[in-house]
Amino acid sequence: MRILLVEDDPDLGPALAKALRGENCAVDLAADGIDAAHLGDTETYDAAVLDLGMPGMDGLAILKAWRDAGRAHPVLILTARDGWSDKVAGFKAGADDFLTKPFRFEELLMRLRAIVRRAAGHAAALVACGPLSFDSQSGAFELDGFPLRLTALEWRVLSTLMLSREVVIERLALIERVYEGDTDNDSNTLDVIIGRLRKKIGADLIETVRGRGYRLTAGPQ
């Protein structure tokens, strides 16, 4: 799961990015509104956490620019503004959720996972594909009922495939969804990760679609 974190607080921004990375997320941190608007319009994200009071460009203006440009990634507004009118303005601009400061990280993480899951078309937290199950609220995977241990990159790849199970995800799109913006994305690294995942969950569950990408499949229905 790749997240765009838009937060100008010099303490909160890096601390929140570190906490999200500890939950296997890839995080791009933007401390300026203009940079945030550009990143959200040109990069691929599963979701954005957006502060409203940003220098350079206000959070609502950023959100409106994204939506006007057709950027549909879910957005969680995180702000000290707690008035009803601020919430209404946020939702009218295209926000998917709203969380006021101060907040608990656990709540932010649960809300973030929920909007990503809903954006992928899943109402229930538990997603299954053959013997593999994914609790999208806790982030835990199980194989045949037993916990599955994954590295951060393995988790990002598998969760992306899981939320779009039976759908082909192109290689470039998968790479863009699992690496941070300043990472040197080697396409061969993705092949290594896919190979490791096949060893852990079974080779038949991840299908290579030649010339396109990968699909998580439970096999013939």
Q: Please report the pLDDT score of residue 213 as a whole number.
A: 94
Q: Is the dihedral of CA 64, 66, 68, 72 positive or negative?
A: negative
Cis peptide before 74 (omega within 30 of 0): no
For residue 172, the domain's CATH number is 1.10.10.10
Contact criterion met (CB below 8 Å) for 165 and 174: no
Structural domain ending residue among the three candidates 71, 86, 119: 119
Q: Looking at the structure, tell me whether residues 106 and 183 fall in a common domain.
A: no
Bridge partners, 5 (sequence order)? 29, 49
For residue 83, the domain's CATH number is 3.40.50.2300
Q: Please report the pLDDT score of residue 162 as a whole number.
A: 97
Contact criterion met (CB below 8 Å) for 193 and 199: no
Q: Which of 52, 34, 45 is nearest to 73 (CA)?
A: 45
Domain contains 28: yes
Count structural domains, the chain.
2
Q: Looking at the structure, tell me whether residues 195 and 106 fall in a common domain.
A: no
Contact criterion met (CB below 8 Å) for 7 and 29: yes
Q: Please report the pLDDT score of residue 62 as a whole number.
A: 96
Q: Which two tokens stand for residue 196?
A: 């490791």
Q: Please report the pLDDT score of residue 221 as a whole number.
A: 47
Weakly modelled stretches of the chain, pLDDT under 50 = 221
Domain contains 101: yes
Residue found by looking up tokens 């993705």 in the block: 190
Which pTM was predicted?
Answer: 0.92
Q: Please report the pLDDT score of residue 189 as a whole number.
A: 87
Domain that holds residue 78: 2-119
Domain contains 167: yes
Q: What is the β-pairing status of strands 169-170 and 213-216?
A: antiparallel
Q: Which two tokens stand for residue 87?
A: 């919430």
Domain contains 221: no
Q: Looking at the structure, tell me whether residues 199 and 102 fall in a common domain.
A: no
pLDDT digits (tens, 9 = 90+) for 29-85: 999 999 999 999 999 999 999 999 899 999 999 999 999 999 999 999 998 877 888
Collect all residues with Cβ–Cβ distance below 8 Å to 34 and sequence separation of at least 6: 56, 57
